[in-house]
Structure formats: structure tokens, C-alpha cells
Structure 1
Amino acid sequence: MLIGVTMGDANGVGPEIILKSFTNGKLKERFVVIGDYSILSFANEYLGYNASLKRIDSPDDIDKDHLNVLDLNILAKDDLTIGKISKKVGYASIVYVERATKMALEGKLDGIVTLPINKSAVRLTYPNFTGHTEFIAELCGEKDYTMMLASDRLIVTHISTHVSLRDAIEMVKKENVYRIIVLTYNTLKRFMDNPKIAVAGLNPHAGEDSAFGEEDAKEIRPAVEKAKEEGIDVDGPIPPDTVFWKAYNGLYSAVVCMYHDQGHIPVKLLDFEGGVNITIGLKIVRTSVDHGTAYDIAYKGIASTKSFENAFNFAIKLVKGK
């Protein structure tokens, strides 16, 4: 097995997270960093990690005793503006993702783990950029995908992510809800037996017999019933103010959420440092940290590695469950 790790925005915490996890022996499977050797070398010296780095040109050159870096040679140390947005650094960060994704599609990597990029920095080159998930899905030629957030305490998926709340409500349609239920179920089956899914309602009290909106009755419930008919163990719509408590206490394996914040808020509340972002429905395995570039603490050696290590281990779990 070989996992590709993208270095992330060089002005943020990505480089130090890789170095810290490697030197602490937390990465138990073969991996290669796709990024810039010069940046990791500088961070290694600056922060005193003393990791043994190796610049490689191909996955065939990997040495198990070193931190192997597939050097794209885009950035030099002088390009760093630590803790600040940079057009060149933003451009480099998305090139790392593009290279890793293409390598995975070509079968050269078994899965990829992405460290954080800064959307504003990337938009200085690509104004319409919306995020990692959408970018990778487009490279994979996929339209049927979504974001899963996972931690030891709660797993959620989403009908919509990076759209306005007004647009998110419009996307709560029977076909979309059914599609995400199926994607969620198929992903859960890769690493657990007999998954049971909850589907959150959209409106207060899941509409309360359409007193507070008709979407729950007209769009969500028919999607749940269709999934049940196909043998999926799923309940819903369940009022959003109780569904996460039920999942947290083991009644459900995951919750299908109607919009971005409905799912993100409970996961981040329960496990802010340890959450993992997984793109489901792709041809490849892709996981990511569930935090940003953290410019304010970059290159101080204090960034938490928990989310990255969880993302790395989750990628291994998904690859093994293929």
C-alpha cells in the first residue's frame, strides 16, 4: 500500500504536521509527500525535527527509513511568507493536489490524504475555486459525490456543502437525499458491519406534519422510504435537535445532513481536533484534515497532528475495505 500526502499551503501548518507525525512514528503505512522538498527541508531545520528527508522522482524510489518527498520544485524557501496569503504558494498547493489525484487515478497511489490549503490564496490564480472536494471530484470526472465528516464520536454526510443556505434548501430534493443515503451506506459498509443511518430533517421538528415546511414530508421521507425498500437500514426524517444525540449514543452509525453547518457544527463541537474529511463517491480514496491552514500558529511547532493522523488511518481503512 502507498498513500500520497499533499503538503498543503506552505505558509500554514501542513509542513510541520507532516514532520511532527513522521518523527513521532505515527504514520504506520508507506507514504510519499507530494510537495516541495525545499519547504519541508527548511521547516525541518527551523523547527528542529531532525527528520531524515529524501527527495524522490518516482514512487519506485521510496526508502522506508526516510520521509520521502516527491519534489514538484515549485517553491523555494524565499517564496515563504509564513502566516500570510500568497498567490504563488496558493498555486503550488493546488498543483500538489492535482498531481496526487492524477497519480491515484493512474494506480500509482492507493489513496490520498490532503493537508489544508487556503481558498483565498488559490483563488488568486483560480477565481472560481470552491474547495478541495469539488476540485478533486472534477479531476475524477465525478458528479455523484459528497463530503463525509468522521470522528470516533460522530459520522455525518451532507446533501450540500459549499453553497448558500438559500441554495442548500433548494437542493433538498428526493433524488439528492436518496443518492446521499446510498453513498453513505456504501461507504460505511467498507469499514463496519450492518450500518444504520439516520436522516436529519430540514425544518424544526422535521416539519411537524408540514406545519413548519413541506420539505421533510414531500422530499426527505420519500427518499428514506425508497432506500428502505432497497434494503438499507435507515430512519428519517428525524428532528435535527435530537438526531445527533441519538447517533452520538450509538443508535445510528451516521447522520445524513441537509446542509453544511447542520453536519459540521456537531462534529466540530464533539471532536474539533480529530475530525476527518472524506470525499465519498470518487474513483479514488481521498481523506483530509478537518481544519484550515492555521496561519496564526504556523511554524511555531504547536499545531495538533490528531486530525491528520486520523485522516491517514482512515485512508488506510478505506483502501483495505475496497
Structure 2
Amino acid sequence: MKAKRVLGIGIVAAGLLLSALTGAANAAEGVWIGPDRITAQDRAALVQAIGVARKENPAAFDTLARLREDMPALDAQKRGRYVPVAAILKGLGKDALLPMLNELAVDAKPRGDMNDDAWHAWRVGLVEAVGSLRDGRAAPVLFALIDVTEMDTDLVRAAASALGKLGTDAAAQKLVALAKKEGPKQKGVLAGMGDCRRLVAAEALASALSAHPNAETAILVARSLGDVGSAWAWKTPIIAASGEEESVRRTAAQALVESYLRYEGEARTVITKAVLMVDHPSTPALVEAAKRSARPGDQAALDALIERFKNSPLHP
């Protein structure tokens, strides 16, 4: 009798263990991370907000679900390499934020029959669309994403860009720290942090370009400097609110001009375009200063840069 009781207890214990393991395996997760990657306090707040939104606006969740179901068909009809998911999601407006955060990090269906390109487009597009909303409620998810993201440059770039668009001190410092850390994420962070239009981000990018990296990395950094100092972007009130426009754009312009002669070919072309994007008033003086120490053959190249600057469409 005693042996039977022991055996029965063992069977129950084994069943409980199996149940626990099965539950862990089937735990809800988003398409990038699971909610366990977010702190308990932030996770509770997010799950509660998603629950309220699902009751108050179920249509937003249904719309996102239908779009996901349509991904294989959209992928089959695409014209470029990837379905423009972010552009589609942006059309849904702010009501899509919580459904997208739920899909990213809380409770999403398995991948299903999406091929590699469709799955990639879906995941990257979700992050890009969340970033475009510049909503602080996304911060816990975006911080978690940038920490655990896969080592795919597109995915890291999307996470860095989305985090940078929040424009907070914490977001900027996080990106700067990651940009300085060598490793598989570094290029993706450098490529995306141009959307973090804060002085510390501009200085980090300037430092990266002044280190004279290889042409491939220089192209990424130059594009981000063009973005971070973009004269057009700084006309947006939400970006201009930081009060750092002058210092950010000057930092970007100086780094770009100083690196102009260090590169040729595509890298120089990208640097030129970035200089024109930043369009800082100090650019002519920066070019003249560079000419004074340039070799005779390089002075002509600098003259060509200043001519392009003077004839830029941004000038009246």
C-alpha cells in the first residue's frame, strides 16, 4: 500500500513537471521577444494597457491580425524585395500602437506559413511603425528589443531608429553606449541612430567617422550624420523641442566636411549628400578651412563641394 502511495505521488509530481515544462514552451511571446524580457512593473502596465485597448477598440487588433494573415499574399505580389509593412501600418494611426506592441513583445501567433522575406518584412515593419509614432509607452519594449535583438543589421537598425525617435536622454545614452561597443550590433546601431537627434548622438557619430573607418562603415555613419543634422527634420516641432538644433547640425557638418577628402567613390558621394542635407550655415567656412591644409589636387574637390552646397535646392 505504501509503495502504491509513493508511486502515485511520483506520477503526480512527474505530471506537474511535464505540465510546467509544456506551459513554459507554450508561453506567450511576441514576434521579437517575450514579455519576460520586460521588467515586471513595465510588463504589468503594458499588459493592462493592451487589455483595456482590446476591449475599447477591438477593431485595431482585428485590422492588424488581418494584415498579418495577408502577408503571404502581399509578399507574392510585392514589387521590391520586401513588402512595405511600415508604410501600411502607419496608415492605421495611433490606435495601432498597443496592438503592435502586443504583436512585438507580448502575445503573437507563431510564424505560420510566412517565408523568410515576409517574416523579415513583418518584424522590421512593426518596429519601424512603432518608432514613427514617437510614443513613450513603447519605451520598455524598444529598450528590450535593442538588448536582445537578433544579429541582423536590418532588425538592429529598425530598433535603434525606433528607440532614437523617442528623443529621451535615456534612449540617446543607450544608443551611444551600443555605438561604441564593437560587435555584430554596432553597424546596425550606427545605421539607425541618425533618428536620435540629440547632441550626444551627433557627437558619437562624429567620433565614429573621425576614426576613419572602412568605406562601408563610413557610408552608414555619414548617412546617419545627414539624418541627425537634417535641416528639414529639424523644422519638426517635436524634434526642435530639444533646443539642440544648432549644436547638433554644426557637429554633423563639421564631421562630414573634415572626412570629405578621406574617402573616394560612393563614400564621398554619400558624404556630399549628407552635407547638403544638414545645410548648416558654417559649411562654407568649414570648407575654406579644409582648403588651407589640402593638397592642390584636393582643393578642386573642395571647390566642387562648396559649389554643390551653394546650388542646393534647400537654398532660396
Please state which band the TM-score falls in when normalised by the shorter chain: 0.3 to 0.5
Report which structure shows greater RCO (CA 8 Å, sep ≥6): 1
TM-score normalised per structure 2: 0.33
Higher strand share: 1
Output the TM-score relative to the length of structure 1: 0.32
